[in-house]
Every structure is written in structure tokens, then in C-alpha cells.
Amino acid sequence: MASIPYGYRIENGRPVIIPEEAAKIRVFLLSYLAGNAIEAAGQAADIPLCRQALTRILRDSLYAGKQNYPAILPESQQKKAADAWEKRTHPGNKRCRQPVRVRHQFRLRQPKKELLAEPPERLAERLYALITPSRNGAAVLSRTEEAAVLSRLYAPDSPAPGKRKERA
């Protein structure tokens, strides 16, 4: 069962407005439209709800008499509050950050065929045997061990890590 929205109670199976809470909702809406933040407007109206519940009051059309609930707010005022919330949280292309495309600097190479024929458990054992603990407790490979592992794993025609193939 869904929860009953703030400002309403159910009597005889129908939603009924709670006058004290409806007055708080109107004060909250006017405070928000005056420029206050959601939390500040909620505190000014003495509404004991979290930010998400206050956002629901601003955005939900049931407070304007939709979805079989009696209207606490005029529809125009509720729409104005929902538009103000949308504008504040999604201010447009100028201020919204655009996603950044990151180009990777690495390429995967094919392992040698003889290593692919080896059972994965055996290959893992071989690789883990090369790991030694460092002074601070982290496990690391020495540079020579790392080079040996890479030379065993990758085909001789592929470039070493960090180096590119020369163009013909």
C-alpha cells in the first residue's frame, strides 16, 4: 500500500484535506516561489519532512486536485512551483556540465597461443607466484618480474606496454 501524501488523510475510503497541514503547504509553496531553498522553505512552513518529500510536494500534481485528491493548491500555482523547481535543478545547457569523453591510451593485445592452451588455474598460479609483498604490505611485482610476465603473456609481434608499433 502506498503512503498517504502530506496534507491528506483517508476518511471512509476517500482522501480528505487536513486544514493545518494544507496551510503549511501553502506557506511552503509561497516561500519556495519567493526564492528560498527547499529545506529553508520547509523550515519556514514548519513542515517536518525530508528534502525528497518536500520536492514531491512541489512537483506532484495531486496537490492541484489531480489523481482523485481534493486540491490544496491552485493548479497554476502548483505548475509554477514545479517549473521553478525544474529550472533550479536543471538550469539549461549553459550551466549544466556536459559529459566528458575520455580517450583511453591503451590497447589490449592477444596472449601467446601456448598460454591460452594452459588451464586458467595453472596460469593464475604462475602469475601469483611472481607477486612479492612490498614494505608497506601491498603486493607488487619488480620491474624485471613484470617484464618477464609481459614477455610470456604477449606475442612477440605486439609492442611492449606503453610503446606503439612503428608505421611502415
For the stretch 91-132, pLDDT in tens is 664 555 556 666 655 555 666 677 667 787 877 777 667 666
In a domain, 40, yes or no: yes
Which of 5-9, 102-106, 139-143 is the most confident on average? 5-9
In a domain, 54, yes or no: yes
Our count of domains for the chain comes to: 2
Is the pTM value of this prediction over 0.85?
Answer: no
With cut-offs at 50, 70 and 90, classify the pLDDT of residue 3.
confident
Residue 6 CB-density burial (10 A; 0-12 exposed, 13-18 middle, 19+ buried): buried
pLDDT digits (tens, 9 = 90+) for 15-29: 999 999 999 999 999
Whether pLDDT at 59 is above 70: yes
Domain end call among 74, 89, 104: 89
Residues 117 and 84 in one domain: no
In a domain, 3, yes or no: no
Length of the chain in residues, anyone? Answer: 168
* Residue 108, all three cell numbers: 589490449
The total of other beta-carbon atoms located within 10 Å of residue 45's CB is 22
Look at residue 117 in the predicted model and tell me its pLDDT.
Answer: 75
Residues 46 and 80 in one domain: yes
Calpha distance 129→58 (Å, rounded)? 61
Smallest CA-to-CA distance from 63 within 32, 92, 88 is with 32
Residues 85 and 119 in one domain: no
Residues 67 and 32 in one domain: yes
- What mean pLDDT value characterizes the chain? 77
In a domain, 138, yes or no: yes
Residues 84 and 137 in one domain: no
In a domain, 162, yes or no: no
In a domain, 97, yes or no: no
Residues 77 and 128 in one domain: no
With beta carbons less than 8 A apart as the criterion, state whether 33 and 44 touch: no
Look at residue 132 in the predicted model and tell me its pLDDT.
Answer: 61
Q: Which residue has the higher pLDDT, 141 or 17?
A: 17
* Residue 1, all three cell numbers: 500500500
Whether pLDDT at 8 is above 80: yes
Q: Which residue has the higher pLDDT, 167 or 129?
A: 129
In a domain, 121, yes or no: yes
Look at residue 163 in the predicted model and tell me its pLDDT.
Answer: 54
In a domain, 163, yes or no: no
Could you tell me what percent of the chain has a pLDDT over 70? 61
Look at residue 92 in the predicted model and tell me its pLDDT.
Answer: 61
Give the largest CA-CA distance in the chain.
85
Owning domain of residue 54: 8-89
Residues 140 and 72 in one domain: no
With beta carbons less than 8 A apart as the criterion, state whether 115 and 152 touch: yes
Residues 85 and 118 in one domain: no
